[in-house]
């Protein structure tokens, strides 16, 4: 799991737990566990999401969110260095010299790009095929983000439904005033679940998915321009200059300094 997600959830959960203990002591914690409230909020949100979106899309969104949490996105500078190295190999050994590099690559998109390059695809074919792949990834990520944010938006509403049902049940027992306070507390737990899960989990995950999606697509664009530069027979220096244009000036400067340092004679 990404350290940021884990740390964020730990901090958020700890703050809520400390607040509960501070207000009512450790003995108050079981009072915040209510199965009917969980069933209404979680079950209701899931049901509404399945009504709004086809089941395959919901399953796909779960896979996208899982990838967002557990898969580490590469770094642009490292991707550029890798592509420049492939350019050097290509200039030295020809495009077929890149074939032995494929088994060392872990990124599926980069593997596909290098295979197309080795197979002799021209620049238009590379841009067309890889561009279509990027568009498909963008659509999947957009759909996943929409589903997660939809669930995050309606989750508090089902919390309110749970609270209303709890208040109705409480009103039926007004003949026993000794239980009114406890019943009211239980009624509002559903709202607590809805607001907490929405703002601590679902909506932040939707935002995180958007951020990481942009980063992943950005790296894929760099790969496309890199392999096209290699296909055209550009020198490693020209390829690096083209790819550095994707970076901010400060990051591009550091990459240039690192390349010069590496090329110094030992």
Residue 88 within a domain = no
Domain assignment present for residue 258? The answer is no
> How high is the mean pLDDT of the chain?
85
Residue carrying the six token digits 């309606």: 154
pLDDT of residue 154: 95
Q: Evaluate whether residue 227 is within a structural domain.
A: yes
Query: Is the residue at 129 inside a domain?
Result: yes
- Looking at the structure of the chain, the number of domains it has is 1
Flag whether 97 is in a domain: no
What's the pLDDT score for residue 262?
54
Range of the domain at 40: 34-73+125-250
Residue 203 domain flag: yes
**Do the domain assignments include residue 263?**
no
- Separation CA 255–CA 247 (nearest Å): 10
Is 131 in contact with 228 (CB distance < 8 Å)? no
pLDDT for residue 142: 92
pLDDT at position 259: 58
Q: Between the CA atoms of 36, 39, 40 and 41, what dihedral angle is there, to the nearest 10 degrees?
A: 120
pLDDT at 265 exceeding the cut of 50: no
Q: Is 185 a residue whose pLDDT tops 80?
A: no
pLDDT of 266 reads 41
Which tokens sit at 62?
């779960």
Chain centroid to CA 113: 23
- For residue 223, is it within any domain? yes
Cβ contacts of residue 224 below 8 Å, gap of 6+? 113, 126, 127, 130, 131, 134
Q: How far is CA 216 from CA 1, 38, 43, 46, 106, in A?
A: 17, 35, 32, 28, 14
Element (H, E) at 231: helix 203-231
């Amino acid at each position: 799991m990404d350290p940021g997600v884990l740390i964020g959830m730990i901090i958020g959960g700890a703050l809520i737990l400390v607040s509960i203990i501070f207000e009512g002591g450790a003995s108050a914690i079981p009072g915040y566990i209510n199965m009917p409230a969980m069933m209404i909020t979680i079950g209701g949100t899931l049901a509404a999401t399945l009504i709004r979106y086809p089941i395959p899309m919901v399953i796909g969104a779960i896979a996208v969110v899982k990838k967002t949490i557990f898969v580490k996105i590469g770094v642009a500078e490292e991707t550029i260095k890798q592509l420049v190295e492939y350019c050097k190999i290509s200039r030295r050994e020809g495009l077929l010299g890149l074939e032995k590099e494929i088994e060392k690559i872990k990124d599926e998109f980069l593997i596909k790009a290098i295979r197309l390059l080795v197979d002799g695809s021209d620049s238009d074919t590379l841009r067309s095929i890889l561009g279509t792949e990027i568009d498909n990834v963008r659509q999947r990520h957009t759909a996943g983000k929409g589903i997660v944010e939809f669930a995050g938006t309606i989750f508090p509403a089902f919390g309110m439904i749970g609270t209303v049902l709890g208040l109705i049940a409480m009103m039926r027992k007004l003949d026993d005033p000794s239980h009114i306070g406890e019943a009211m507390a239980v009624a509002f737990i559903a709202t607590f679940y809805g607001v907490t899960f929405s703002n601590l989990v679902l909506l932040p995950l939707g935002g995180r998915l958007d951020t990481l999606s942009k980063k992943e697509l950005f790296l894929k664009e760099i790969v496309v321009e890199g392999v096209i530069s290699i296909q055209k027979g550009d020198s490693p220096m020209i390829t690096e200059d083209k790819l550095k244009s994707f970076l901010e000036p400060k990051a591009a400067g550091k990459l240039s300094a690192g390349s010069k340092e590496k090329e110094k004679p030992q």
